Amino acid sequence: QGEAGMEVAEHCLQASEALVARCPDEIAPFITQLLGLGLGYIKFDPNYADDDDADGGGGGGGGDDSMDFEDDGAADDDDDLGGEYSDDDDTSWKVRRAAAKLLAALISAKPDAVPDMFASLCPALLARFAEREESVKADVFATTRLLIQASGSPVAATAMLPLLRAELGRITGALRRQLAQRSMKTRFGVFVLLREL
């Protein structure tokens, strides 16, 4: 996608986020589509498309690689990319940030639906812990925090607690790898998430 295409994608994601936040009941029939939109674009990074493919992209999601949101194991590698890649012309991070905010809005607006979304949300967020743009990583951490907090929600706790316990090892492992990063903001985000757990 060119610059114009990325700008359109960012604005569409922002509009979707606003709809979710302001009209939670009305968007209920479209949760699956909105979730797919957010999960697909949170990993939209054309400059590293080849790396994503090589990392062992696991299946599902059909069609466009940018919309393949299955867990590809990226949480296990690419940690050394953080902060080292620089391209002033690359604005794809704005799309990923908007996608993270859309997912956060879905979690906040529809806590009763979080258990059904968890199987897709958790691996996708853990994979983006390897995000190279610090502002996007902060939003990924914030969205993950909301997902963890949903386990304490009265409408979701019963279903969420077993799901969260099952993924606890993967979550803490991904966080432990992030502690090796030089960025103090990243380390602070890790400690915030560990405290939530």
Q: What's the pLDDT tens digit per position in 4-60?
A: 889 999 999 999 999 999 999 999 999 999 999 999 999 998 877 544 443 433 333
**Do residues 28 and 21 touch, judged by C-beta distance below 8 A?**
no
**pLDDT tens digits for range 82-92:** 444 445 678 89
- Please state the pTM of the whole predicted model: 0.77
The residues near 67 (Cβ < 8 Å, ≥ 6 apart) are 36, 40, 41, 61
